[in-house]
Amino acid sequence: MNRSHYRIRSRKGLSARCLVLLSLLIIGIFAGCAGKDSGIEAGKDEGVFSWFRSAAGPPEPESEVDLSGKAMDYFVHGRYILAEEIFQKVRDRYPFSPYATLAELRLADCKFYMGDYDEAISLYEEFEKLHPTNEAVTYVIFQEGFCYYRLMEGPDRDQTFTHKLVETYERLLNRYPDSPYSYEVRKRIAKAKNRLAQHEVVVARWYIRTGRATQAKNRLETALDLYPDTSAGVKAARLLKKERIFQQTFTAETDRAKESEESWWRRLIPFI
């Protein structure tokens, strides 16, 4: 029984070793074929171990062309976060490549389309400073103004962004009067100036309600002088024609000023 049992175990061990050897032989054959198809030189890293090393080797780095193409594909499909990440890689890895200039521009565009207008303005301004003669500068200035256009507040709010819009777009018209953006730029300037005139009228009305006619008159005159061709400028002119309101207020203010002046003199020289 022991001898027969030993023979059975020996046969099983032999069979297992044969299977292992057969497997290695098959892998070696496929690896050799793959080596020949790939143009591997004879005598250099051939066989099973070469196959394993080539499978585990590091991938080749992508070029700026490949990265830019991938980023633009994400960009045109509206996947701005992914596009921004790859454009950043292009700018950092290949700072002297023409593709880095494209990446700088598209990074600003990504911020714009994601609604981060403050950061977009900063990137557009940086592009304009670094590449003042680039053919994309007209587009860049237009986009700067577009950011301010999106940031404009209502007429009862602070108008800093509205002033910035007018300043930016007038600079664009002065430098590039025949640019393809001129028509849209003029429309937006007109809208911004009307917003500024509206702001003056809103403040003037508040001064009227609080009985400060002088300040109200100054505000309305400002709207009429600076923005006469706007609808809000026309409203300012109509309010100025309402002399009755201003006359009553001016009379009351004059009377108060006289009383104050008389009281001051009487305190100084009480016997007069």
AA identity, residue 53: R
- pLDDT at position 211 is 87
Token pair recorded at residue 234: 């026309």
At residue 241 the predicted structure's pLDDT band, cuts being 50, 70 and 90, is: confident
Q: What is the DSSP string of 108-171?
A: HHHHHHTT-HHHHHHHHHHHHHH-TT-TTHHHHHHHHHHHHHHHPPPTTS--HHHHHHHHHHHH
Rounded Cα distance between 70 and 85, Å, is: 11
Averaged pLDDT for residues 79-84: 97
Confidence band of 117 (pLDDT split at 50, 70, 90): very high
Taking the model in full, what pTM does it have? 0.70
* pLDDT at 266 > cutoff 60: no
Task: Give the class (CATH, top level) of 135-250.
Answer: mainly alpha
Q: Nearest to residue 152, comparing CAs of 141, 166, 138?
A: 166
pLDDT 10s digits, 14-52: 454 554 444 444 444 444 444 444 444 444 444 444 544
- 155: number of Cβ within 10 Å: 18
Q: Where along the chain do its domains lie?
A: 2-56, 135-250
How far apart are alpha carbons 125 and 132 in whole angstroms? 10
CA atoms of 217 and 96, how far apart (whole Å): 58
d(CA 17, CA 248): 115
**How does pLDDT run across 179-228, given as a tens digit for each residue?**
999 999 999 999 999 999 999 999 999 998 898 888 999 999 999 999 99
Q: What is the mean pLDDT of the chain?
A: 80
pLDDT in tens, 164-173: 999 999 999 9
Taken as a whole, the chain contains a residue count of: 272
Answer yes or no: is pLDDT of 91 > 60.
yes
What was the pLDDT predicted at 57? 54
Q: Which stretches does DSSP call E strand in the chain?
A: none
The residue whose two tokens read 């100054």 is: 218
